[in-house]
Structure 1
Amino acid sequence: MKICLFQDDEKIFRKSGIGRALKHQREALRLAKVDFTLDYKDEYDIIHLNTINPKSFMLAKLAKKNHKKVVFHAHSTEEDFRNSFALSNQIAPLFRKWLIKCYSTADVLLTPTPYSKTLIDKMGFKVPIIPISNGINLDDFRLNNEKKKKFQRHFKLSKQQKTIISVGHYFERKGIIDFIEIARSFPDIKFIWFGHTSSTLLTENVKKAIRNKPDNVILPGYIDGDIIQGAFQSADMFFFPSYEETEGIVVLEALASKTQVLVRDIEVYSPWLKNKINCFMGRDNNEFKKTIEDYLDGKIDSTVESGYKVAEERSIEKIGNQLKNIYQQILKNEL
């Protein structure tokens, strides 16, 4: 059994959740001892596609023509396309049609969560749709004091400085406007949002929020490696007010770092995240503010240990074995 784990436009997707999902898949297959290639010109039995660009679609069609099996990882939905960049809502119906065209080539669709499976189910596909987490490499986020120091030195932070971080594109859907607004209520806390989006794609609402952000909000752009890992381990809280996700790899990264997590109470986290058990949840800015205040004042207990167990259940090793099992079933026509 040999898998073609196709990756294209790596420079474009490297900074996105899909880029990290691809990296996780490579690591997972290595650990599960699954033979794979990144070159679609090699011999293979199954092609596993993560992106929905025209090349992925053409490779899926070519694979079917050559009697190969096609797995499409349904990372994208119309719902998480909306409220992202400028004009995303206007072109969302066309995006949905393209999704259906791409995903219809698959023998099996994979999707990151039970919630995202319900969204894909609504498109009416007749093939199996299997929820499987994007996974997390626990080793990357184990406590490392040198990484914490690198983060603190990079931002010139004292050990006493309270910090709240988030990670994502500058999309309205991600909740960056709420993040900035809430920071106004906590001038003594540094709010750091890691990520970058081209200014040409920003909505006017996001541009306005960034222009008028308070001084305690830091937007350092895209940073990876030791500094971002140190940020997760050093931060007092990971605050992710996203309105729509298919999973949220950054949430898994925070859980794996044993950082206190605060997320918006949205469907994607059901049933794997539970308020005040393995994370904190809020429905609006007032609830977010109160939770931040209560946690930093010691009025509510940390959930990091239970949160870490959620990350353990989605370790790269376990995801690799799950993928291996799915591939084997596909080749045996058992799905």
Structure 2
Amino acid sequence: MSTFLHVTLVTETYAPEINGVANTLGRLCEGLRQRGHKVELVRPRQNGEAAPAVPEELMLCRGWPIPGYPGLQWGQTSMHKLLRRWQRRRPDVLYIATEGPLGLAALRAARRLGIAVISGFHTNFPQYTQQYGMGFITRLLTHYLRWFHNRSRFTLVPSVSQKLELERRGFERIELLSRGVDSQLFNPSRRSQALRASWGVGDDEIAVLHVGRLAAEKNLSLLKTCFEALQHSYPQQRLRLVIVGDGPQRNALEQQLPNAVFCGSQRGEVLASHYASGDLFLFPSLTETFGNVVLEALASGLAVVAYDEAAAGQHIRHGHNGALAMPGDAEAFIDAARWLLEDSETLRRVRLNARQHASRQGWNLIIDQFERQLREVCPQEVGLPVKSLS
């Protein structure tokens, strides 16, 4: 096998879009290129985007907006266009990260040409349909996703809980690929007293932080319930709720939480400073395949309260570097947050342990594993067709 691979990554979301999938794919793509691999990206054209400077590395296709998700879109292209492109420059392996029209066209074209395919399960759409009052299509959607992923050589998932859930639903050949965090970027040293002051938080006061997309599937009603419970339990402690992110529920949340600070979407060093300037991190979501923000919060030295699943289940040891609740038990979630504020020494110790743990969760090992998984499905001599699954 030759030293370097020609990898095609197919996705309907990518930076500068702000979400965990786009962040993860950017890291994987950059990591492979740094190792000398050729990475071709196939994705929808973003607003105002010009033709690619290097057409061999980027194929842009048409995008259609996703209802209720401004800024995100489905991608669409014909299988025949992909066939022509890959017949001219055949990739060794495809990584299909999304299961929409673009991912389906790529899967069909790859199977026609006998190109090895690995798929990624990045978004838990069946759980989303329940949150949006469309539970009647959950079974159909699960059937389609199972059909889609079972036609790849294997499917990568980021957490053990997600692997068990998919296997229970009849998905085959599930393998783990976790996520990392840039602990140089997300670092307690970026704490800003000026930023805290702009939130109305003094040195000895507590900034209760939430970072994420403000959408129905994130279980954000628990933010309000939990924060109000903390205020009631600790009337002597001045608390301020700070929410970083944007999405379809922002207007409703602003009305429900008139005293909260809404910072909108942030990225890069500014985002890292927002994390580091907080103290307690509330993450009530129950629909994550992983939840990159959990690792980012831990790396920033925050005490995280979350449900015991996905990233939190993998990286938080209850009472040591964070606090966990059984999934769906809202009262236990609130109790976990209360425990962290019982005394300042508990909060200090948990925050130190959080940073120490997350600082060991870098991206290099994740990208090494991803590279091995890509090589595993390539033919012995790169360039030869592989037998596709029926």
TM-score, with normalisation over the residues of structure 2? 0.73
State how far apart, in whole Å, the 1-side matches of 2:271 and 2:198 are. Answer: 10
Q: Indicate conservation of the 8 Å contact 1:183/1:216, yes or no.
A: no
Q: Indicate conservation of the 8 Å contact 2:218/2:286, yes or no.
A: yes
Aligned partner of 2:25 in structure 1 is 22
Aligned partner of 2:181 in structure 1 is 136
Report matched runs for 1:142-221 at 5 Å. 142-145=187-190, 148=192, 151-152=195-196, 155=199, 157-187=201-231, 188-198=238-248, 207=252, 210-213=254-257, 215-221=258-264
Paired letter, 1:62: A
Aligned partner of 2:157 in structure 1 is 111
The answer to whether 1:5 aligns with 2:9 is yes
Paired letter, 2:220: I
Per-residue CA shift, 1:63-94, capped at 9, x if unaligned?
1211211111111335542443x334343223
Paired letter, 1:135: G
Q: Indicate conservation of the 8 Å contact 1:74/1:110, yes or no.
A: yes
Report matched runs for 1:117-132 at 5 Å. 117-126=163-172, 128-132=173-177
The answer to whether 1:62 aligns with 2:66 is no
State how far apart, in whole Å, the 2-side matches of 1:186 and 1:125 are. Answer: 41
Q: Indicate conservation of the 8 Å contact 1:27/1:316, yes or no.
A: no
Per the TM alignment, residue 272 of structure 1 is displaced from its structure 2 partner at its CA by: 4.0
Greater RCO (Cα-Cα under 8 Å, separation 6 or more): 1
Per the TM alignment, residue 33 of structure 1 is displaced from its structure 2 partner at its CA by: 3.9
State how far apart, in whole Å, the 2-side matches of 1:22 and 1:62 are. Answer: 21
Paired letter, 1:140: L
Structure with higher strand content: 2
Distance change >3 Å, CA 31–CA 136, structure 1 → 2:
farther
Distance change >3 Å, CA 8–CA 242, structure 1 → 2:
closer
Give the counterpart of 2:266 among 220, 223, 228. 223
Per the TM alignment, residue 171 of structure 1 is displaced from its structure 2 partner at its CA by: 3.5
Q: Indicate conservation of the 8 Å contact 1:133/1:314, yes or no.
A: no
5+ long unaligned stretches in structure 1: none
Give the counterpart of 1:34 among 37, 40, 50. 37
State how far apart, in whole Å, the 2-side matches of 1:242 and 1:28 are. Answer: 29
Cα-Cα RMSD: 3.0
Per-residue CA shift, 1:47-77, capped at 9, x if unaligned?
1111121011101211121121111111133
Larger CA deviation: 99-108 vs 67-76: 99-108
| Greater radius of gyration (CA) | 2
Distance change >3 Å, CA 272–CA 289, structure 1 → 2:
closer
Matched residue count: 323
Aligned partner of 2:67 in structure 1 is none
Aligned partner of 1:331 in structure 2 is 378
Paired letter, 1:279: G
State how far apart, in whole Å, the 1-side matches of 2:274 and 2:314 are. Answer: 27
Q: Indicate conservation of the 8 Å contact 1:115/1:268, yes or no.
A: no
State how far apart, in whole Å, the 2-side matches of 1:243 and 1:266 are. Answer: 8
Per the TM alignment, residue 160 of structure 1 is displaced from its structure 2 partner at its CA by: 4.1
Q: Indicate conservation of the 8 Å contact 2:94/2:115, yes or no.
A: yes
State how far apart, in whole Å, the 2-side matches of 1:108 and 1:229 are. Answer: 34
Distance change >3 Å, CA 118–CA 161, structure 1 → 2:
same
Per the TM alignment, residue 304 of structure 1 is displaced from its structure 2 partner at its CA by: 3.3
Larger CA deviation: 64-73 vs 1-10: 1-10
Give the counterpart of 1:47 among 91, 94, 99. 94
Larger CA deviation: 171-180 vs 43-52: 171-180
Q: Indicate conservation of the 8 Å contact 1:103/1:109, yes or no.
A: yes
Distance change >3 Å, CA 74–CA 179, structure 1 → 2:
same
Per the TM alignment, residue 244 of structure 1 is displaced from its structure 2 partner at its CA by: 3.1
Per-residue CA shift, 1:103-156, capped at 9, x if unaligned?
133112100011111122233244x321111322222213444x6357436646
Report matched runs for 1:310-329 at 5 Å. 310-329=357-376
The DSSP-based 3-state class of the residue aligned with 2:368 is: helix
The answer to whether 1:298 aligns with 2:344 is yes
Per the TM alignment, residue 228 of structure 1 is displaced from its structure 2 partner at its CA by: 1.9
Give the counterpart of 1:71 among 118, 127, 133. 118
Per-residue CA shift, 1:176-235, capped at 9, x if unaligned?
101112222445311122222225xx9xxx94x65332x332333322222321121111
Per the TM alignment, residue 30 of structure 1 is displaced from its structure 2 partner at its CA by: 3.5
Q: Indicate conservation of the 8 Å contact 1:151/1:227, yes or no.
A: no
Q: Indicate conservation of the 8 Å contact 1:32/1:320, yes or no.
A: no
The DSSP-based 3-state class of the residue aligned with 2:346 is: coil
The DSSP-based 3-state class of the residue aligned with 2:246 is: coil
Distance change >3 Å, CA 19–CA 80, structure 1 → 2:
farther
The DSSP-based 3-state class of the residue aligned with 1:300 is: helix
The DSSP-based 3-state class of the residue aligned with 2:123 is: coil
Q: Indicate conservation of the 8 Å contact 1:77/1:96, yes or no.
A: no
Among all aligned residue pairs of Structure 1 and Structure 2, give the percentage whose two residues are the same amino acid.
18
State how far apart, in whole Å, the 1-side matches of 2:351 and 2:263 are. Answer: 26
The answer to whether 1:93 aligns with 2:139 is yes
The DSSP-based 3-state class of the residue aligned with 2:262 is: strand
